[in-house]
Amino acid sequence: LLSSRVGSGYTVEERSPLAKSERMERGARVVNETLQQLVGLGLSDAEIESLFQEQATLLDHAGLERKLITVGPHDELNRMCADQLGTALQKTILPVPLSQMERHKDADFAFVPYPYLTDVLETLSRTDTMGFATHLPSKVLETVARLRDHETVGLVTRYRDTIPPLSEDLRTRLRPVLDDSVHDVEELRVLVSQDSIDAIADAVPA
């Protein structure tokens, strides 16, 4: 886009991408105009539907790839969630730290744990953003709940900064049954809840 200013000639201006609501509104107008033209050509409803399906298939075959990301404050936990969602959706999902989400404003979908949803919605305002819930495996909770006062198990993580949030999560969920001792768990994983996975799978086009 060019703008002209007296004394400075032409200036190339940065083109701001449309917000989702504007994209949808303009897209709806284009589709409506196209439908009217097809009806004017004498095509039946079945023929129009067939054409749309054919064109959608061509887009898929052209390798139209959507950018999907998970956003969270802890790298290791973020990767766990990205791996689980990627397996469920059969798509590549990029784990992105909260501190770097400004670099990913081009993402089509962002998935984020509910406690951080507001921050992501404000920063990635043009991205379809969905929150998800997490939980700890029942086997882990059962094991820790049965620990005696003198028993402990070690918390194994890849990165040191993963230990505090996992420990706090474990203490919060098991506070009623734990004493003041530090009880951590070996190979502790955070799981994305199934209802969150189902909701995300319904929202992301196949």
- For residue range 25-75, what is the model confidence (pLDDT) as tens digits? 888 999 899 999 999 999 999 899 889 888 877 665 545 678 999 999 888
Per the prediction, the chain carries an average pLDDT of: 79
What is this structure's pTM? Answer: 0.58
Residue 130 has pLDDT above 90, yes or no: yes
Residue 148 has pLDDT above 80, yes or no: no
Domain ranges within the chain, ordered by starting residue? 20-64, 68-134+192-203, 138-188
Question: Averaged over 142-149, what is the pLDDT?
Answer: 73
Q: 42, 83 in Cβ contact below 8 A?
A: no
Q: What is the C-alpha separation between 179 and 137, in angstroms, rounded?
A: 21
- For residue range 84-120, what is the model confidence (pLDDT) as tens digits? 999 998 889 999 999 999 999 999 999 999 989 999 9
Confidence of residue 131 (pLDDT cuts 50, 70, 90): very high
DSSP designation for 184: B
Q: How far apart, in Å, are the Cα atoms of 60 and each of 12, 28, 31, 48, 65?
A: 34, 20, 19, 19, 8
Q: What pLDDT score was predicted for residue 117?
A: 94
Q: Hey, which bits of the chain come out as E strands?
A: 2-5, 9-12, 68-72, 93-97, 109-113, 128-132, 134-135, 191-192
Class of domain 68-134+192-203: alpha beta
Q: What pLDDT score was predicted for residue 60?
A: 59
Which residue in the block uniquely carries the two structure tokens 């798509």?
91
Q: Is 90 left (phi over 0), alpha (psi -120 to 50) or beta?
A: left
SS3 36: helix
How many CB atoms are located within 10 Å of the residue 157 CB? 18
Q: In this structure, are strands 93-97 and 68-72 parallel, antiparallel, or unpaired?
A: parallel
Higher pLDDT, 189 or 49: 49
